[in-house]
Amino acid sequence: MIVFVILVSIIILISVNYFLIVLKLTYGFKKLHNTKTENAATKALKQPAMEIVDEAFDNVEVNTRMISVIIAARNEEHNISACIESLQRQDYPKELFEVIVVNDQSEDATSEIIERYEQLRIIDLKQLITTGKGGKKEAVSLGVSKAKGDFILITDADCMVPPAWIREFNKCFNETGALFITGPVMLKPETGFFNKFQCLEFNSLIASTAGYIGINKPVMCNGAIMGYSVSAYQELLHDKSDEPEQADILRRNITSGDDVFLMLSMKKEFGAESITFLNSASAIVFTHTQPDIKHFIAQRIRWVSKSNGYHDNDVILSAISIYSFNLICFILVLATLLNFFFFPAANLKFGLGLPILTGLLIVIKTTVDYMLLSAYSGVYGQKHLLYYLPVIEFIVISYTTIIGTLGNIMPFKWKGRMFRK
């Protein structure tokens, strides 16, 4: 009986902690949203994101600076054209930004495609090529070393950016004084259940990213949309130059995390207030859903693989809290199913108590998750996907638990390269 009481108490504590976290994230996101709408175009924020890709908002003149856009590309012959063309349509002065595409030893026609755009000279575009082992971290570092801008903007080769993208970043740098900025990313297409699941689950990640920044505890960002001050980056490297282990601010021994490790280094050096979220619907970066479950799992394992490299207390506590709650839900769902199918004659009180407890946790989880996702999708669109949330919750609980474990032990293949723990 004592053991049962202890287990129930642990479940309640972990569950309450999760609910409080999501409520804080909802508050954090709304705080960002309210701040933005007081100072910028409210109309732009409230329009559905899918309808504003080719529109530019808020023509207020701001202090323009030299911007360097860096794209790491490996085997992106099917995507790189759309990415470059979206940068050619920027409404930012052409003489005040450059695009550096770092070809990470592609084995397809990526290099030839980049060369064609380079020769057009529509924008200041140049191609660099990695040497040695390569990898995204080496590619980004190479691009930064050759950049001539005051600020670095980074997106992925399989992404498309709206015309106001650079201008919105420049405006955010000017208005906030932030040294590191991340922002909204949206997946497409939205057809088919698997794609809908990816879109909604990804929205929860971006909403959480914004929420954490809104409560001044940045723990996540996305490499598809981030920007940072070159001077702050150089200062960070200079301050760590006498500490070899600390100088590697991107943690090159870990395959993934080119985005979050830099953000956490900035956070440690300059404080959480130096990091912000570009809460503008006219700055959304669009990218594609994974084509199948195999690629989806490989992507998520790659993301989880960097977890052993975290030293930030906010990140560690957040990861433990969210994983623990999903693990409890997973175990309870599994136990409920096993009890129903294999032990129908079990003690009546226990047999009813288990599914009631499980159902209660799932209902409350769905409710608080809906609050966060509803706030986010109300700004960025795809609100219709919330109808699928009750079903998707079961999938998220299962894959979060399983991938959270496998990501720390399994090798994975990405962009034609095999990576091992």
Q: How far is CA 307 from the centre of its chain?
A: 15
* Distance between CA atoms of residues 113 and 106, nearest Å: 11
Percent residues over pLDDT 90 in the chain: 62
Domain total for the chain?
Answer: 1
Q: What is the pTM of this model?
A: 0.87
Q: Give a yes or no: residue 363 inside a domain.
A: no
Pair 294, 302: CB distance under 8 Å:
no
**Average pLDDT over all residues of the chain:** 85
Q: Give a yes or no: residue 86 inside a domain.
A: yes
Q: Is 253 exposed, middle or buried (0-12, 13-18, 19+ CB in 10 A)?
A: exposed
**Which two structure tokens, joined as six digits, stand for 312?**
């930030």
Q: Give a yes or no: residue 361 inside a domain.
A: no
* Distance between CA atoms of residues 107 and 96, nearest Å: 32
> Looking at residue 289, what DSSP letter applies?
P
Q: How far apart are the first and last CA of the chain?
A: 42
Three-class SS state of 409: coil
Q: Give a yes or no: residue 401 inside a domain.
A: no
User: What tens digit of pLDDT does each residue of 74-126 get?
Assistant: 999 999 999 999 999 999 999 999 999 999 999 999 999 999 999 999 999 99
CA distances from 219 to 214, 307, 370 (A): 11, 12, 21
User: What tens digit of pLDDT does each residue of 338-367 get?
Assistant: 877 766 655 555 567 788 888 999 999 999
Q: Give a yes or no: residue 141 inside a domain.
A: yes
Pair 71, 99: CB distance under 8 Å:
yes
User: What tens digit of pLDDT does each residue of 32-76 get?
Assistant: 865 443 343 333 333 333 344 444 444 444 578 899 999 999 999
Q: What is the pLDDT of residue 57?
A: 41
Q: What is the pLDDT of residue 93?
A: 94
Q: What is the pLDDT of residue 346?
A: 55
- The CATH number of the domain holding residue 120 is 3.90.550.10
Pick the closest to residue 312 from 287, 360, 275 (CA basis): 275
Name the percent of the chain in helix, strand, coil, to the closest 5.
60, 10, 30
Question: Per-residue confidence at 246, pLDDT binned at 50, 70, 90?
Answer: very low
Pair 415, 75: CB distance under 8 Å:
yes
* Distance between CA atoms of residues 376 and 323, nearest Å: 22
Of 183 and 238, the structure prediction assigns the larger pLDDT to 183
Q: Is the peptide bond before 184 cis (omega within 30 degrees of 0)?
A: no
Q: Give a yes or no: residue 280 inside a domain.
A: yes
Please report how the helices 193-214 and 348-380 are oriented relative to each other, as an axis angle in degrees rounded to 10: 80
Query: How many CB atoms within 10 Å of residue 118?
Result: 17
Q: Give a yes or no: residue 368 inside a domain.
A: no
Q: Average pLDDT for residues 144-172, to the nearest whole number?
A: 95
Q: Give a yes or no: residue 13 inside a domain.
A: no
Write the Ramachandran bin of 414: left for phi over 0, alpha for psi from -120 to 50, otherwise beta. Answer: beta
Containing structural domain, residue 141 = 45-300
